[in-house]
Structures are given as C-alpha cells and as structure tokens.
C-alpha cells in the first residue's frame, strides 16, 4: 500500500485524538501509523477515528523514529524540546503543535491557505511549526483581505474556549459549573480564577510590558505568517465555552475596501465560510463551529472611526483549524510538495 509512515505523538490528549480523527476523515495516505504518548498511557488502546481500527499506544521515550516519514506532535513545548530534535535528526519530519519552534527563523510556521510556499525551507531543521490556535483562524480570515487592500493594523479581542488549556481546562469548567449548581464551592486549579460563569483576561504568562504571552504570540506569529509590516495588538480572554475560539477583529487597510467587497472576497476565500445575514441568528457562534474544518466569518461591517476600516467576527474550532486540522493540512502539503510518496 502506498502512503506515508506517520507518527502521532501525544495521541491520548485533546489535540492528538483530534489529529487521529482528521487523518482518518480526510483519508490521509498512510501505510503505517504509530501512536505515542508518555509512559502513563503505554499499552492503552485508542481508535483510529471512526474506523474501528484500534491502535496500541507506545511510549515515546522508547520509540525509534528512523524510517518514519513524518510525526505530528501534540506533546507541549517540554516534550517537543526533548523529542523533536531526535525525530528530525532520524529523518522523520516533525510537524509540531507546541509554541517552542514557532519563532525559530529556521523553522517554517505554516497555515496552508496563507503561506504554503514557506514550507520549502523545512529541511533546515526538519521541523515545521503549527501556529497558536487563535493566530491560525485569524490569518485565514485576514489573508484574502490583505491581498486585496493591504492591512496596516489589526486590533483583536479573543474569546477563547477552555479546551485550549487541554482536557484539564474542560474538566474544570464542567466541575465548577456542576458544583455551583448544587451550591458547592468552585475551586480554581487549572485557571487563575473561577472560569464557570466568568471570563478571565489572562491566557499564558505575563510579560514585562503587561501583555500576556498569548497576546504576544498573536502579534509575532501574524507578522511571520502574513506580513512583518502589519501592526497587531491583542487582548486574549478565556471564556466559559468548551470548544471553539471567537475573535472580534478590527482591521485598518492602506487601500479602500467596502464591507460588501470584503464579503464577496471572503465568500471565495479558501478555508473561510461567510455566514453573515444581518438578522437574529444570522451569524456563527462557537457551538455551531465545533467539528467543522472552516473558519467562520460573520458581522462584516465598515469601521467609521478610521479611513479604510472593517470590523468582523471570526469563529473556529480551536482543536481543528487551530491545531489538529492545520497540522494534517501541513502534512498533506509536505507530501504534495516534497515527499511525494502517495499514489
């Protein structure tokens, strides 16, 4: 059977499971598949999507990557630091979901709809980085508009779901909600404050200038993926939603662009679904985007406070386009442009 020898590392976590689902759904050409996790999950069995095929989890510490084509990593920066160089050196290309390598000048940071050509530099380290979930959906929306009217400045506020903080984040929202309903106390463990029935304007750690690392990531990653000249400022907020990140994005352009023109551009843009009826319910919320591949855009309108300004609402499944789907699309791109093993 022609195809690739593929490794999924971190296969038991939120993103790793989603990677397996999407590899199966998209019928990625696989001749052999290995699923890896830490020693805790060694020997567990997980299903390959809905195929009914069960895979035995192997310990990443003892896995030999020689002879494997590509590895999709969802093991966090600590794990990537330990294992990515070892896999890359063995000739297995790493597609890494962690933040560790994103800003390394020798590592391509790829969103296939936006900068597919940048993958051509992957052989320098044999590592390709997947952007932050909130950056990924934003650049998919910005790219076609930037091509038409050149973006100068972006102001974004995010409404990020708890699944972005892993399974522990989802469990905490569930447990706190349940506890509050029955009158028990809601103890914060994963998050810095109560997340149930609340919003928290703090994701990742604080930097010296008062921004958080998540906000900084959106700035520097957008510049690397889309255009270094674009100015970006972000406020990233955790909200009590299980899956799906939302963003309110205000964009200032060099050149003229009307809301109507923007809508017609977004309607044709790859990876984008425009749902923008100016009526009750004529927009997308996180609940509807779950399990979907698209980045949804709604509420497109002109910003009267600047020349050539637009405002829009952008929603996407953070475990899919924000993480697993983008990683699989990178794998597809790597196969098409470079490895060329699939029939």
Query: What are the tens digits of pLDDT across the range 124-176?
Result: 999 999 999 999 999 999 999 999 999 999 999 999 999 999 999 999 999 99
Residues 151 and 231 in one domain: yes
259-268 and 133-149 helices, crossing angle to 10°: 120
Same-domain check for residues 210 and 257: yes
Q: Are residues 11 and 106 in the same domain?
A: yes
**111 with 147, same domain?**
no
- The count of C-alpha atoms lying within 13 angstroms of the C-alpha of 131, restricted to the half-sphere facing its C-beta, is 31
Q: Which of 208-212, 276-280, 281-285, 336-340 has the lowest mean pLDDT?
A: 336-340
Same domain, 312 and 180: yes
* Residues with active-site annotation: 133, 245
If you count them, how many residues does the chain have?
Answer: 343
Is there a single domain that holds both residue 62 and residue 89? yes
Query: In this predicted model, what pLDDT tens digit does every residue of 218-272 receive, in sequence order?
Result: 999 999 999 999 999 999 999 999 999 999 999 999 999 999 999 999 999 999 9
Number of domains in the chain: 2
Q: In what order do the strands lie in the sheet with 4-9?
A: 45-47, 54-59, 30-37, 4-9, 70-73, 93-96, 127-129
Interval 107-124 mean pLDDT: 98
Q: Are residues 146 and 110 in the same domain?
A: no
Looking up residue 110, the CATH number of its domain turns out to be 3.40.50.720
- For 44-56, the pLDDT digits (tens) are 999 999 999 999 9
Residues 127 and 140 in one domain: no
In a shared domain, residues 57 and 198: no
Is the confidence at residue 30, as pLDDT, over 70? yes
> What is the C-alpha separation between 181 and 185, in angstroms, rounded?
10
192: domain CATH number is: 3.30.360.10
Same domain, 81 and 190: no
Do 275 and 145 fall into the same domain? yes
Rg over alpha carbons for the chain, rounded to the nearest Å, is 20
Q: How far is CA 149 from CA 58, 113, 142, 225, 262, in A?
A: 49, 18, 10, 17, 10
pLDDT of 2: 82
Q: What percentage of the chain carries pLDDT values higher than 70?
A: 99
Asked if the model's pLDDT at residue 1 lies above 60, the reply is no
Q: How many CA atoms lie within 13 A of 298 on its CB side?
A: 19
pLDDT value at residue 341:
86
Over residues 96-114, mean pLDDT: 98
Give residue 342's pLDDT band: very low, low, confident or very high (50, 70, 90): confident
Same domain, 60 and 38: yes
Per-residue model confidence (pLDDT) at position 195: 98
Instruction: Tell me the average pLDDT across 310-316.
Output: 99
Mean pLDDT of 5-34: 97
pLDDT tens readout for residues 213-223: 999 999 999 99
DSSP annotation of 117 reads G
Q: Which two tokens stand for residue 172?
A: 């905490």
Distance CA 211, CA 226 (A): 21
Whether the predicted pLDDT of 343 surpasses 80: no
């Amino acid at each position: 059977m022609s195809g690739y020898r593929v490794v999924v590392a971190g296969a038991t976590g939120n993103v790793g499971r989603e990677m397996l689902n999407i590899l199966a759904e998209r019928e990625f050409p696989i001749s052999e598949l290995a699923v890896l996790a830490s020693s805790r999950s060694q020997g567990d069995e997980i299903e390959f999507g809905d195929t009914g095929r069960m895979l035995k989890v192997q310990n990443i510490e003892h896995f030999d990557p020689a002879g494997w084509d590509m590895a999709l990593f969802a093991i966090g920066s600590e794990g990537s630091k330990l294992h990515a160089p070892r896999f890359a050196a063995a000739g297995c290309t790493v597609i890494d979901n962690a933040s560790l390598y994103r800003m390394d000048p020798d590592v391509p940071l790829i969103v296939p709809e936006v900068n597919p050509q940048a993958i051509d530099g992957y052989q320098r380290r044999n590592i390709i980085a997947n952007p932050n979930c909130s950056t990924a959906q934003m650049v998919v929306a910005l790219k076609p508009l930037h091509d038409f009217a050149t973006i100068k400045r972006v102001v974004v506020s995010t409404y990020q779901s708890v699944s972005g903080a892993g399974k522990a984040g989802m469990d905490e929202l569930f447990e706190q909600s349940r506890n509050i309903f029955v009158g028990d106390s809601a103890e914060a463990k994963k998050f810095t404050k109560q997340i149930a029935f609340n919003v928290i304007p703090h994701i990742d750690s604080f930097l010296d200038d008062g921004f958080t690392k998540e906000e900084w990531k959106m700035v520097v990653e957008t510049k690397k993926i889309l255009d270094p000249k674009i100015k970006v400022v972000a406020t990233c907020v955790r909200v009590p939603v299980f899956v799906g990140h939302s963003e309110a994005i205000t964009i200032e352009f060099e050149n003229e662009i009307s809301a109507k023109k923007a809508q017609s551009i977004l309607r044709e843009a790859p990876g984008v679904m425009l749902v923008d009826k100016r009526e009750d319910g004529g927009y997308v919320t996180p609940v509807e985007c779950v399990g979907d591949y698209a980045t949804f855009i709604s509420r497109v309108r002109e910003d009267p406070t600047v020349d050539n300004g637009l405002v829009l609402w952008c929603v996407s499944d953070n475990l899919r386009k924000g993480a697993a789907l983008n990683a699989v699309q990178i794998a597809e791109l790597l196969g098409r442009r470079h490895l060329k093993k699939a029939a």
